[in-house]
Amino acid sequence: MADYHFVYKDVEGATTQWDDIQRKLGNLPEKPAPFKPAPFAPRADADEQPRSKEWLDARDPDELEELEDDLDDDRFLEQYRRMRLAELKEAAKTARFGTIQPITGSDFVREVSQAPPDVWVVVFLYKDAIPECGLLETCLEELATKYAETKFVKIISTDCIPNYPDRNVPTILVYNNSAVKGTYVGLQKFGGKKCTPESVALALCHSDPVLNDGQGGNNVMEGVRRKFIEKVVSELETREGEDDSD
């Protein structure tokens, strides 16, 4: 029959009642402090730059994505990486429009009247069967892309204003801080059927900084004027060249 020997070992640091009494009487030395291993710290390569908060702040989204595998063993850095990516994505969406948003009559208050006070809203009233509407919409589409801090919306004229006369279409309404700041009926203020994105931009910004590209109103107007002048000069040169060839 096999002889089994069991050795019982108590929890490290545990003592008997007898030992405790003897220590109080001074017959036994104080028990040693229990062993505590040093806290774990991932070993950093000698050539690797310390990943402080400031160092991470300077990374762009692509670099943060590449760090994902390296940060898995560090809860703080992984949490911080996710926070930074969320902040960057949110910042990219803030006050960015970039297109003409179609709306209905029921959307008008939410999308236009209740827009933030610092956002200018250009409302395009149109009818599909009217050629002038297509011409103006083409200009507005280019402006919406270029001046993505300004909100552009379009709505069928009679959805916005019941019984609105077709002779007044296209119409542009400019809103800011829940109030109408400008009304443009037809194409006359924009150069008629020869209207261009530049001529529309000049009219919209004549008295208010309606168009915003994030660089400041003065820069917008200077750029629009310069491009408008360049286009007029180019057209004149083309006409003069045609006259000379005749």
**Count of Cβ atoms closer than 10 Å to residue 98 Cβ:** 14
User: For residue 216, what pLDDT is reported?
Assistant: 55
Helices (H), the chain: 17-24, 53-57, 61-66, 75-93, 108, 131-146, 157-160, 197-204, 217-245
3-state secondary structure of 226: helix
Backbone angles phi, psi at 9, to 5 degrees: -125, 120
**In CATH, which superfamily holds the domain spanning 100-234?**
Glutaredoxin (3.40.30.10)
User: For residue 21, what pLDDT is reported?
Assistant: 74
User: For residue 95, what pLDDT is reported?
Assistant: 47
User: For residue 96, what pLDDT is reported?
Assistant: 67
User: For residue 228, what pLDDT is reported?
Assistant: 63
* Mean pLDDT per 10-residue section of the chain, whose length is 246 residues: 54 69 75 70 52 65 65 62 68 70 96 94 96 97 93 97 97 96 96 93 90 66 66 69 64
User: For residue 46, what pLDDT is reported?
Assistant: 42
Whole-prediction pTM:
0.56
